[in-house]
A and B are shown apart, each in its own frame.
Chain A
Amino acid sequence: MENIQMLLKQGAVGKPCEAIVKKGDKVKRGQLIATPTGLGANVHSSVSGEVVEVNDEMIVIKPAAKQPKTFVKIKKGSNLEMIKEAGIIGQGGAGFPTFIKIYNGKEDKPVLDHGYILVNASECEPGLAHNIQQIDEDPASLLRGVHYLMEIAGADKGIIAIKKKHRETIEKLDALLKDDPAIERHLLPDIYPMGEERAVVRECLGIELEPDKLPSAANAVVINSETVYSCVAAIEDQKPLIDKWITVRGMIKGGNEAHVFENVPVGTSVQTLIDRAGGFDERGYGEIIMGGAFTGKATTLDAPITKATGALLVTREFRDLHGAKVGILVCACGGNLERMEDLVKKYNGTVQHVCYCKQAQEMPNGTRKCERPGNCPGQVQNNLDFKKAGCEYIIIGNCSDCSNTVMASGPKMGLKVMHMTDLAMMAVGHPLYRTLRVSKQVSQDLNVVDNVEDNETVQ
């Protein structure tokens, strides 16, 4: 068994933790090995074994040949204390420590004022399957978890936001929700980016938050479904966050169906997971994306998964643009400029011009957030600019609606439009993001068919 790499910084936000073990220490699965130095959460070993290296980035553990099924339990305490102790961070995105999201330090005044726990079960990134599979296998635990969180955060209501296309899973939830009036479900259309935090708030509560506002401004906490399960495990089983559900998909031997691996030890390498899925497709591949096709980043075979990792997508081989001039349209939904430039380089293109979506507001930390996620502000001006700048191709990372707008004028101008997710979408067998033929509104009645058009028609 390969060495396990436990990163000291497990999420995208926060500060690296400090290791409390040293080289040569014997550790057990579930043992606390690093503690926060600022914004962060505890890190526990996902395996039993021996610490073989501690450096600024990670603790490397050589697993014992025989791994226990059990783990070192966290100590009992209040539900909130156990969530904190278990080192739970958000598993849908940046990895924000969960206990900070639901607790403000005030015993008498919870973060919400009779507000909402919004469970993000949108599994928004195309091609991923592990969130829905987890709910499908055990919907009851999710509901228990929502109640735990409602109690801690001071919410009166829980809402599970899930895409309407997951009919079977929704039916299972509905069967349980019949007897649980405090929790309801909200059905989402199958478009990107329904899982954006503020999009979830807007869809569920009808409140459009400014880009710099947190869901708390709408009296809500948004929490990813897998994170809820981790909380349940911490509270009921005293289990630290050491295992992850991971979707592996794409150019994998044997087909492009999703491989969902349950309870993968955090720190497992990309290579190990690809191997478990069956290895690379012999036709070759372009890159491995850690995370979703929109917001994930290219990774390497030796990289470890973290608590915040949800997927590994293996893309089709890169196309060769033979140095053609490429325009980059940066928005908040897809990759940042650095990621887009990396893709253009991989495609052997030349970056000729960069435009920004009008709604992609730059935040103080340099990231961008969309003013109205999923609702396009118009893109023809950018296309004119690309054309003027002499671009032959443009690469976009836009949401479903904006991609549709880009397509309304780009090709007519002679711009060849590529979406940053194309090679991943081809690899997983998902329609490319081009035109939009489905409604952005869905009926909350599961039996009402919303529209008949189909995104598949477009290539």
Chain B
Amino acid sequence: MSITAETAKQHANDPAVLCCRAEAGTELTPANFEDPAIFPDLVDSGLLNLDGALTIGQVLNGSKLTKTVDSLTPVTADIVDKFDAAEGGADEAPAAEEAAAPAVAAPAAAVAAPAVGGVINLHIGEGKDINIQIPAGIGGGAVAAAPGAAVAAVPAAAGAAPAAAEETGEAVVVREMTRKHYKIDKVVLGDETKIEGTTLYVRKEAATEGADAQKLVHSLELDVITPDDYHVYSETVMDIQPIATKEGDDELGEGVTRVLDGVVMMVTGITEEGVQVGEFGSSEGYIDENMMWGRPGAVDKGEIIIRAHAVIDNKKNMERPGPIAIHTAVDHVTQEIRNAMKKQLDDSQVVDTQVMKQVRRPGKKKIVIVKEIMGQGAMHDNFLFPTEPVGVLGAKPNVDLGNVPVAANPLEVMDGCIHALTCIGPASKEMSRHYWREPLVYEAIHDDDVDLVGVIFVGSPQANTDKFYVSRRLGQMVESMNVDGAFVTTEGFGNNHVDFTSHIEQIGKRGVPVVGFSFCAVQGALVTGNKYCDAMIDNNKSMSGIENEVLACNTLCHEDAIRGLAMLKAKMAGESIKAPERNYTHSVKENNVDLIEKAYGTKMELVDNEQALPMSEKRKAKYD
């Protein structure tokens, strides 16, 4: 489509291509040019060859066509009477430093929905200004992969030359919280719930009681999976939870939290018919083949797993009461352990004490972390602010709260203020333990260059009207915080990307630089986008860029958090962020990690992906 003078200015360094037939003698104006935003699609589909094309900026200075040419003809030197010399800018790299630290990001990417007849079909119920660009598989070829999101490197200045001028003082500790760790190296199911030494005894009947209290839960069974027994079959994992309790009347995020090391709760569930309680993939299979060990949300290798397996009414797997009933039943068991922890543990058994501090850094760039959590219903829900870490009692489901943004402080987040009923996609969903160990919150609070003001949770409702409702509220909330930058993270992919990108837009249009985090890669490329989605961190770790049903494989890890912080700092410093290649490639991340290592003089350890696990039959058959 023809473009406006403003768009022409923005794209001054992009190729000039005629949108329509133009006759010899025509003086070129913005109305003559096709919008460069759609060129990638056209090039991909063989409709456009940009070789030798002059830029828009070069031919807007009174250049006239010397030849009559048709629509989609690139303006080349041989068809205009004159053109300006190419500007410096992009090509000539004005400063070595800048060139050494390009920030890279994904623009609005496209979705890879089921391809039918070489065309991607995409449905968005309702929305405004949603621009979707999908290579249309023209010419019978395969559907081009959607653009991948990418990452930025920090300007060298971020570490080396901090702007000292605005610093007004030392870091201020707003509040503290203590985590006392207790070691467990043996779990026994028995007649009583108690802790003796490093052995945790769990009363088997507690599970039956938990199930009995929930009409929809037919049965809840416990078993213990030890590290030498990880090659055991499991139904899909609904959640991984730390076992922790508050000391005395301490509130979440304050005082003392007692946590058991070496053991986690694992919730699994199926319906009577055997349907997995999951959506868009499920992680059932041998645990050692389907658990991405060590991810913030997953089990660490060497930990004992208490598996609570629930069977619920048919058809309740995709209705809200089903997953809620399972989690509530399981929490009956966990609460009994928590009660034992309160009574039977004392400081002599503490193996490690962690003092966690929420610090503010006046004078530093103020940033906020927005975490989009699922709120579509069924298992796509989260209990917010329970009384106990990752508990149920006292919490409110964010679906019931209307998914509106809710503020939390970093310590609340890491004290289990989110009990996750989780999202679609085993590989990308953030389970309860993820928040307990949230890497972005952790890295941001420990980054001396930024002042983390807090964390906002915002639900992702089902209906698009509701999505835009909550994202407008979010924008207003962020505006009132007066921050210099913001992160927006999401879990899963697809439906939630509609509000994810809308959140970014609502914040971005208020002049606040935003960096987004999501699994995108090949399979989860954004379904929508806007001009503020220019800085993205792709959480993908999988080799093929897909939802590979390996639990927590593609969730946000420390390496992503570091990349995100680098990118946000670059963006806040006014650095431009380079667009990624059109198709997803690992090299964007690799290049950025490289740049970060150079800029900071550190070595980044990158986590393993599914390739480090024994190959499962399912993965072999479906993915790799």
Contacts and interface: CB of A to CB of B under 8 A. Distances in A.
Interface string A414-456: 1000000000000000000001100111000000000000000
Given A387-B136, A387-B138, A409-B71, A376 B20 contact: yes
A297 B445 CA distance: 69
Contacts of B120: 388
Interface string A365-397: 000000000011111110010011110000000
B1 A377 contact: yes
B35 A381 contact: yes
9 contacts: A358-B1, A380-B19, A380-B38, A380-B42, A387-B138, A388-B122, A388-B136, A408-B71, A413-B138
A413 B20 contact: no
B23 A376 contact: no
Given A376-B71, A381-B38, A404 B136 contact: no
Nearest to A441: B23
Contacts of A404: 20-21, 70-71
Contacts of B117: 390
A413 B136 contact: yes
A401 interface: yes
B46 A436 contact: no
A106 interface: no
A378 B130 CA distance: 20
B31 interface: yes
Which of B21, B31, B38, B140: most chain A CB closer than 10 A?
B21
A178 interface: no
B450 interface: no
A388 B122 CA distance: 8
A336 B20 CA distance: 23
B19 A412 contact: no
Nearest to A387: B136
A381 B116 contact: no
A441 B45 CA distance: 33
Given A384-B136, A387-B138, A401 B20 contact: yes
Nearest to A378: B19
Contacts of A439: 23, 68
Given A405-B19, A413-B138, A378 B71 contact: yes
Q: Which 7 A-B pairs have the closest CB atoms?
A: A378-B19, A408-B71, A376-B20, A387-B136, A378-B1, A377-B2, A405-B71
Contacts of B138: 387, 412-414
Contacts of A378: 1-2, 19-20, 34-35, 71
Nearest to A407: B71
Nearest to B136: A387
Contacts of A379: 1, 20, 71
A390 B19 CA distance: 23
B21 A405 contact: yes
Nearest to B31: A377
Interface string B257-295: 000000000000000000000000000000000000000
A384 to B, nearest CB: 6
Nearest to B39: A380
Contact of A380 (B23, B47, B68, B139): B47
A413 B21 CA distance: 18
Nearest to B34: A378
A377 B31 CA distance: 7
Q: Which interface class (under 10, 10 to 19, 20 to 34, 35 or more) fits A?
A: 20 to 34
Interface string B401-422: 0000000000000000000000
A376 B70 CA distance: 12
Interface of B: 1-2, 19-21, 23, 31, 34-35, 38, 41-42, 45-47, 68, 70-72, 116-117, 119-122, 132-134, 136, 138-140
Contacts, number: 91
Contacts of A412: 45-47, 138
A332 to B, nearest CB: 16
Nearest to A392: B117
B2 A380 contact: no
A384 B41 contact: yes
Contacts of B68: 439
Nearest to A400: B21
B405 to A, nearest CB: 33
A193 to B, nearest CB: 15
Contact of A405 (B20, B38, B42): B20
A379 B70 CA distance: 13
Contacts of A384: 38, 41, 133, 136
Given A380-B34, A381-B38, 9 more contacts: A377-B2, A378-B19, A378-B20, A388-B134, A389-B119, A390-B117, A390-B119, A412-B46, A414-B140
A99 to B, nearest CB: 38
Contacts of A441: 23
B573 to A, nearest CB: 35
A408 B72 contact: yes
Contacts of A402: 20
A377 B1 CA distance: 5
Which of B1, B2, B45, B122: most chain A CB closer than 10 A?
B1
A235 B617 CA distance: 93
B111 to A, nearest CB: 11
A390 B71 contact: no
B363 to A, nearest CB: 47
Nearest to B1: A378
Nearest to B139: A414
A358 B19 CA distance: 12
A375 B71 CA distance: 12
Contacts of A440: 23
Contacts of B21: 376, 401, 404-405, 408, 436
A299 to B, nearest CB: 34
Nearest to A376: B20
Given A387-B138, A390-B117, A408 B70 contact: yes
Contacts of B133: 384
Given A380-B38, A380-B47, A388 B119 contact: yes
A439 B25 CA distance: 12
Contacts of B132: 388
A394 to B, nearest CB: 13
Contacts of A358: 1-2
Which of B23, B71, B117, B136: most chain A CB closer than 10 A?
B71
A401 B134 CA distance: 26
A413 to B, nearest CB: 5
B320 to A, nearest CB: 34
Nearest to B133: A384
Contacts of B116: 390
B107 to A, nearest CB: 16
B211 to A, nearest CB: 48
Contacts of B134: 388
Given A384-B38, A390-B119, A409 B47 contact: yes
A259 to B, nearest CB: 35
A380 B72 contact: yes
Nearest to A439: B23
A387 B119 contact: yes
A388 B120 CA distance: 6
A376 B34 CA distance: 11
A403 to B, nearest CB: 10
Contacts of A401: 20-21
B121 A390 contact: yes
B134 to A, nearest CB: 5
A377 B20 contact: yes
